[in-house]
Amino acid sequence: MNTAVHPDPQGSLIEDLKRGNSSAYKKAVREYSPGMLAVARFYLDYSSAEEIVQDCWVTVIDAIHKFEGRSSLKTWLHRIVANRCKNKLRSSKREVAIDFSESLEPELANRFNATGRWDLPPSLKFHESADTLMENDALSDCLDKHLSALPETQRSALMLYEAHQHKSEDVCNILDVSASNLRVLLHRARQKIFLMVETFQETGEC
Amino acid sequence: MLMCRDLAGIASDYIDGELTGRRNLSVKMHLMMCKHCRSFIGNLRASTDLMKAHSSSKPDEEFIRRIDERVAEALKTRKPRDGNNE
């Protein structure tokens, strides 16, 4: 008799995946694919990244039996995607070009005077929660536009760290970057998002 | 002395708690005296929260559908392990 107890929902999801349960796959695909795509987009263009994510899910059907739970399912999936992307880059002898320069965004750097104090201080004021603000379709569309315009490397780092809540060391491992380079990617991406939201709040324009 | 421009350069590290003791302390001291930098740190946090709320709200349905199809196709060719395929 099977007396195994799975107190955490992820445990039972993993067991269902191991049994090949199609509903479990639908649930897992919906939950984990956006993060897997964020990993793949760090390394590859959109269509190659999407193809890799699809291929990884097919791999997962066979490989899930080897999953021993040493990391979370999410981290395990993200590592599979990263390894596959790295192999693809290696076989095509390409590298990811990343700008790790630490400067402030020019638009932000120009807002300080010669003594380093604010000349044009931040004007944003948030009176509502992020979830309430996101009900504004125009703001949501604007965020879409600016997130798409971020360099892939910055966007992937930001998504994995913020939206998918990986620890720094996991992001470094998955994206193959040093801790200090991850800091630069996050720093630059956040500045851009801040500037975009500020412009939108001030002018209503994207 | 830490100036506003310097603080803007390390604001992201401060938010994530990545600054070492002395550096962290100098940011805190600066923030006590400078309302513009307090506002900047608050705004940087809030705009990141917005990005987080945004990206978790809308998965790309077409992208998900295409994966569902690939997975469903692949599952058909595998033998169910425990005879429980649904």
Of B9, B11, B80, the CB nearest to A19: B80
The closest CB to that of B50, out of A20, A109, A143, belongs to A143
Cβ contact, residue pair A20, B63, below 8 Å: no
Domain total in chain B: 1
Which pLDDT does position B80 carry in this prediction?
A: 56
Query: Is CATH 1.20.58.100 what the domain over A106-203 is classified as, yes or no?
Result: no
CB A185 within 8 A of CB A171: no
For A82, what's the count of Cα atoms within 13 Å in the CB-facing half-sphere? 20
Q: Directed axis angle between helix B35-55 and helix B21-33, to 10°?
A: 110
Report phi then psi at A48, rounded to 5.
-65, -35
State residue B84's pLDDT score: 47
For residues A49 and A40, the answer to whether their CB atoms sit within 8 Å is yes
Contacts of A159 in chain B (CB under 8 A): 55
Q: Which of A156, A119, A151 is nearest to A41 (CA)?
A: A156
Q: For residue B20, what are the contacts with CB-CB under 8 A and spacing of at least 6?
A: none
Residue B85 lies in a domain: no
Q: Do A53 and B67 touch (CB under 8 A)?
A: yes
Which part of chain A is CATH 1.10.10.10?
Answer: 106-203
Closest CA to A133 of B73, B8, B51: B51
> Could you tell me if residue B9 is inside a domain?
yes
| Range A88-108 average pLDDT | 79
Confirm if A81 and A36 have CB atoms less than 8 A apart. Answer: yes
For A159, the token pair is 């998504």
Take residue A139 and report the two structure tokens written for it. Answer: 């703001």
CA distance linking residue B18 with residue A190, whole number of Å: 15
Q: Is the pLDDT of residue B11 over 60?
A: yes
Provide the 10 A C-beta neighbour count for residue A21: 21
Q: What is the CATH classification number for the domain harbouring B64?
A: 1.10.10
CA dist., res. A132 & res. A149, Å (int)? 24
A163 or B81: whose pLDDT is higher?
A163
Would you say residue A197 has pLDDT above 80? yes
Q: Is A136 on the interface with B (CB under 8 A)?
A: no
Indicate the range of A26-30, A58-62, A196-200 predicted with least confidence.
A196-200
SS3 readout for chain A: CCCCCCCCHHHHHHHHHHCCCHHHHHHHHHHHHHHHHHHHHHHCCHHHHHHHHHHHHHHHHHHHHHCCCCCCHHHHHHHHHHHHHHHHHHHCCCCCCCCCCCCCCHHHHCCECCCCCECCCCCCCCCCCHHHHCCCHHHHHHHHHHHHHCCHHHHHHHHHHHHCCCCHHHHHHHHCCCHHHHHHHHHHHHHHHHHHHHHHHHHCCC
Q: Can you list the positions of beta strands (E) in B1-86? A: none
What is the pLDDT at residue B85?
Answer: 47
Q: Measured between alpha carbons, how far is residue A55 from residues A49, A171, B66, B70 in Å?
A: 10, 22, 11, 8
Q: Give the mean model confidence (pLDDT) for residues A41-64.
A: 93
Per CB-CB distance under 8 Å, the chain B contacts of A121 are: 36, 39-40
> A64: which chain B residues are within 8 Å (Cβ-Cβ)?
none
Give the residue among A167, A20, A172 at the shortest CA–CA distance from B72.
A20
Model pLDDT, residue B64: 94
> Does any domain span residue B86?
no
| Residue ranges of chain A that CATH labels 1.10.1740.10 | 9-91
Asked whether the beta carbons of residue A183 and residue B9 sit closer than 8 angstroms, the reply is no
Q: Which residues in chain A touch residue B66, judged by CB atoms under 8 angstroms apart?
A: 50, 54
Long-range interactions of A8-12: CB distance < 8 A, separation 24+: A10/A72, A10/A73, A11/A69
Which chain A residues are within 8 Å of B44, Cβ to Cβ?
A: 190-191, 194
Name the CATH topology of A9-91. Answer: Rna Polymerase Sigma Factor; Chain: A (1.10.1740)
Q: Which domain holds residue B42?
A: 4-77
CA distance A42 to chain B (A): 16
Lowest-confidence pick of A37-51, A136-150, B71-85: B71-85
Compute the mean pLDDT over every residue in chain A, rounded to the nearest whole number: 87
Judge whether B82 lies within some domain: no
Q: Would B20 be classed as within a structural domain? A: yes
Window 163-192 of A, Cβ < 8 Å to B: 163, 168, 183, 186-187, 190-191
Instruction: Find the mean pLDDT for residues A192-197.
Output: 90
Answer whether residue A116 shows pLDDT above 80.
Answer: yes
